[in-house]
Amino acid sequence: MTLTITVHRGTETIGGSCIEIASQNGERLILDAGRPLDAPREATGLLPGTLDLNRPATVVFSHGHMDHWGLIHELPGDWPIWAGEKAAEMMRLSTELFGGSITRPIETWHSRSRPFPVRGFTITPYLTDHSAPDAYMLLIEGSGRRILYSGDFRAHGRKAKLVETMIASPPERIDVLLMEGTNLGTDKPVITESELEDAFVALALETPRHVFVQWSAQNIDRTVTLFRAAKRSGRELVVDLYGADVLRRITGGTRLPTPGPDFHELKVVITPGGKRLYGRQGRDDYVAEMATSPFATSRARLANNRAIIMLRDSMVRDFERGGIGFTPDDAYAFSNWSGYLDPEDTNSGWTRAQAAGAKTLKLHTSGHASPADLARFAAAIAPKALVPVHGIAWDNPQIPLPPVRRLADGEPWDLP
Ligand SMILES: [Zn+2]
Ligand SMILES: [Zn+2]
């Protein structure tokens, strides 16, 4: 009895991951069913052609980034789906944002590192450090084999300790490590979230007026970094209705910042664009609740205040009309993957800030492990074989690695 691993997508790409682990009894586990990052918004029929949809399977999502779960609507309706509790909430939130909904049930695990059975397999989720909250590595046991899937991870975020603990006392006897390699082949700087926090404090102290920041509201690590930087520099952190929605739905039961009496320095700006976004979702009650809360603020109030303010490109017009457009006394920090920044786009916050004479800069750190940390992690796990996924430089990784089993997309491999 053995297991068969098939990486349906991900041996040559970043994003759109889909991995199958099958037993000889015909039981199948699908790890992630991600949307390719370059797929057009309206595109459908994106599941890998080698994934057999006619036989039963159970699906487990490692975390709430679209490139790992975005094809949920294409999966057969009778396949059970599992995810972390907050990750599942983030999937619903992202879907609702575009006017859709996830109607099928998502089964969730509530506790970390506790094994649970699914048909033919035992799964142990390990909470890990990534730019998405509630991201997991998954230990899969079945037919006497032990497979560790790294999901997406890093070792320089606010939860780096989770990865260091795993390196210090790794799960034993791993047959196969399925590991991401997003940052292989790059030498982009990987600073810690704490170092980033210091940089934001320095920026806030030297900026005469507002510090506008573009970051992903779902990157809770970054929100914490900015909240701490705001407090340290005597400013408020201002998020929009969407940013507040994410915090309220994801941080429940934790000590993370969320709009409310415990976090005085966190404010929510109510804008026409934000109202429209939630009006379309039939959530006017949410808007009303926020707008009448003590932590609500307005563009007019912000005009005479020095804050750190969340700013997406879609909000720029509202801010200009409301009297808080860019001035030479402001700073605009782009705190996202630089591939999302289009310097040619004349409507972007970046070009408008530059045109107004505001200071523009990139302040970011990757959501993925550096090549050195990938090598360190793989060495600690010491699998019999490492199967590369979620990377584009695996043919020339330039780091020491355990024995590599390089698969092609859709190529089944029977474990020895
Ligand atoms: Zn990913
Ligand atoms: Zn991710």
- pLDDT (tens digit, 9 = 90+) per residue, 35-93? 999 999 899 999 999 999 999 999 999 999 999 999 999 999 999 999 999 999 999 99
Rounded to the nearest angstrom, the distance between the alpha carbon of 392 and the centre of ligand 1 is 12
Among residues 57, 131, 53, which one has the least CA distance to residue 90? Answer: 131
Rounded to the nearest angstrom, the distance between the alpha carbon of 42 and the centre of ligand 1 is 20
Query: Could you report how far apart the first and last alpha carbons of the chain are, in Å?
Result: 10
Spatial distance between the Cα atoms of 318 and 315, rounded to a whole number of angstroms: 5
Q: What is the pLDDT of residue 370?
A: 96
**How does residue 186 score in pLDDT terms, banded at 50, 70 and 90?**
confident
3-class SS shares of the chain: helix, strand, coil, % to 5 = 30, 20, 50
Q: What is the pLDDT of residue 98?
A: 85
At residue 232's C-alpha, the angle toward residues 336 and 293, to 5°, is 80
Rounded to the nearest angstrom, the distance between the alpha carbon of 65 and the centre of ligand 1 is 6
**Do residues 173 and 243 both lie within one domain?**
no
**How does residue 343 score in pLDDT terms, banded at 50, 70 and 90?**
confident
Rounded to the nearest angstrom, the distance between the alpha carbon of 381 and the centre of ligand 2 is 21
Rounded to the nearest angstrom, the distance between the alpha carbon of 321 and the centre of ligand 1 is 37
Average pLDDT, the chain: 96
As beta bridge partners, residue 18 has 9, 33
Is residue 291 classed as helix, strand or coil in its secondary structure?
helix
Rounded to the nearest angstrom, the distance between the alpha carbon of 81 and the centre of ligand 1 is 18
Q: What is the pLDDT of residue 305?
A: 86
Average pLDDT over residues 107-132: 92
Can you give the CATH number for the domain in which 150 is found? 3.60.15.10
Among residues 255, 218, 244, which one has the least CA distance to residue 68? Answer: 218
Rounded to the nearest angstrom, the distance between the alpha carbon of 130 and the centre of ligand 2 is 7
Rounded to the nearest angstrom, the distance between the alpha carbon of 21 and the centre of ligand 2 is 21
Model confidence pLDDT, tens digit, residues 142-153 = 999 999 999 999
Average pLDDT over residues 295-316: 95
**Do residues 333 and 355 both lie within one domain?**
yes
Rounded to the nearest angstrom, the distance between the alpha carbon of 197 and the centre of ligand 1 is 24
Rounded to the nearest angstrom, the distance between the alpha carbon of 140 and the centre of ligand 1 is 19
Q: Please state, as a whole number, how many other Cβ atoms lie within 10 Å of the Cβ of residue 140.
A: 23
Q: What is the pLDDT of residue 408?
A: 98
Average pLDDT over residues 191-201: 97
Of all residues in the chain, the percent with pLDDT exceeding 90 is: 91
pTM listed for this prediction: 0.96
Spatial distance between the Cα atoms of 181 and 388, rounded to a whole number of angstroms: 7
**Do residues 342 and 201 both lie within one domain?**
yes
153 touches 367 (CB < 8 A)? no
Residue with tokens 């991401």, as numbered in its chain: 180
Rounded to the nearest angstrom, the distance between the alpha carbon of 234 and the centre of ligand 1 is 35
**Do residues 118 and 33 both lie within one domain?**
yes
Spatial distance between the Cα atoms of 297 and 239, rounded to a whole number of angstroms: 10
> Residue 165 carries which side chain, given as an amino acid letter?
T
**Do residues 176 and 218 both lie within one domain?**
no
Q: What is the pLDDT of residue 220?
A: 96
Average pLDDT over residues 270-288: 96
119 touches 58 (CB < 8 A)? yes
Average pLDDT over residues 302-321: 94
Proximal ligand: closest to the CA of 67: 1
Task: For residue 182, report the phi and psi dihedrals to the nearest 5 degrees.
Answer: -50, -45
**Do residues 202 and 130 both lie within one domain?**
no
Q: What is the pLDDT of residue 113?
A: 78
Spatial distance between the Cα atoms of 152 and 384, rounded to a whole number of angstroms: 21
Q: What is the pLDDT of residue 99?
A: 87
Model confidence pLDDT, tens digit, residues 207-250 = 999 999 999 999 999 999 999 999 999 999 999 999 999 999 99
Rounded to the nearest angstrom, the distance between the alpha carbon of 162 and the centre of ligand 1 is 19
Proximal ligand: closest to the CA of 68: 1
**Do residues 286 and 244 both lie within one domain?**
yes
Rounded to the nearest angstrom, the distance between the alpha carbon of 322 and the centre of ligand 2 is 35
Q: What is the pLDDT of residue 111?
A: 65
**How does residue 7 score in pLDDT terms, banded at 50, 70 and 90?**
very high
Rounded to the nearest angstrom, the distance between the alpha carbon of 285 and the centre of ligand 2 is 32
Average pLDDT over residues 374-383: 98
Four-CA torsion 313, 316, 318, 322, nearest 10 degrees: 160
**Do residues 232 and 247 both lie within one domain?**
yes
Pairing mode, if any, of strands 3-9 and 412-414?
A: antiparallel
- What sections of 118-240 are H helices per DSSP? 160-168, 193-206, 220-232
Proximal ligand: closest to the CA of 64: 2
Is residue 57 classed as helix, strand or coil in its secondary structure?
coil
Rounded to the nearest angstrom, the distance between the alpha carbon of 71 and the centre of ligand 1 is 13
Residues with CB under 5 A from ligand 1 (ion): 67, 152
383 touches 377 (CB < 8 A)? no
Residue numbers of the domain that contains 215? 193-362
Task: For residue 220, report the phi and psi dihedrals to the nearest 5 degrees.
Answer: -65, -35
Proximal ligand: closest to the CA of 157: 2
Q: What is the pLDDT of residue 253?
A: 80
**Do residues 251 and 161 both lie within one domain?**
no
**Do residues 48 and 110 both lie within one domain?**
yes
Proximal ligand: closest to the CA of 65: 2
Rounded to the nearest angstrom, the distance between the alpha carbon of 108 and the centre of ligand 1 is 20
Rounded to the nearest angstrom, the distance between the alpha carbon of 318 and the centre of ligand 2 is 30
Please count the structural domains in the chain. 2
Examine the pLDDT at 315 and tell me if it is beyond 80: yes
**Do residues 226 and 336 both lie within one domain?**
yes
Rounded to the nearest angstrom, the distance between the alpha carbon of 415 and the centre of ligand 1 is 25
**Do residues 236 and 351 both lie within one domain?**
yes
Residues 6+ positions from 182 with CB-CB distance below 8 Å: 14, 152, 366, 368, 369, 390, 391
